[in-house]
Amino acid sequence: MSKKKPTHLQKHYLKILCRLIYYIGICDCWYEDSDRSRTHKIIYKIWIFFMNSFLILNTINEILACTRSDLTVRERNDLIQFSFGHISVCAKYMFLMLQKDRIKVLFKRLVDGSRSTFTSSEVEKKSVKKAIAYSVGLALATYGTLALSVVDAYLRSRKAGIISC
């Protein structure tokens, strides 16, 4: 009778994370092969091309906008902030794309490794709760900043007479 190998407690969460990264258009970081049709692969390559082209062109546009001399101090500060932010996002995307094979090996060794490792369901549950709390905090800060920026832009446009209600 063969003994079934226990599944790593975080495999489900890692798979969801890798799937999310895949759907965003970065790359497929999951180590298990998936059955995808030829049509799916073609559509995905087109999706990756447009998503990454948009990101790169937007970043180049922001960098070139730094050469403009007609920006106000507030606009220049916002531009510099977004330029650095988008450059770091581009660098992270490129790093993930270039290192995807190493990431696959890492996940395979972490999740399905043959070596015995200490696993504690209590420690795993606490780490998942902590990761979720940090992720929710980051998401709230990011989307809160975005929402307040939209409100600020709306109020400034209304004050400048661009939008009338």
Q: Are residues 163 and 138 in the same domain?
A: yes
Q: How far apart are CA 106 and CA 99, in angstroms?
A: 11
Q: Give the per-residue pLDDT at 116.
A: 59
Q: Are residues 107 and 141 in the same domain?
A: no
Q: Are residues 30 and 75 in the same domain?
A: yes
pLDDT tens track for 45-59: 999 899 888 888 988
For the chain, the domain total comes to: 2
The percentage of residues in the chain with a pLDDT greater than 70, rounded to a whole number, is 89
**Does residue 134 have a pLDDT over 80?**
yes
Q: What are phi and psi of 155, to 5 degrees?
A: -65, -40
Q: Are residues 68 and 19 in the same domain?
A: yes
CA angle 70/75/79 to nearest 5° reads 105
Q: Are residues 67 and 125 in the same domain?
A: no
For residue 128, the tally of other CB atoms under 10 A from its CB is 13
Average pLDDT over residues 78-100: 84
Q: How confident is the model at residue 9 (pLDDT cuts 50, 70, 90)?
A: low
Range of the domain at 93: 11-115
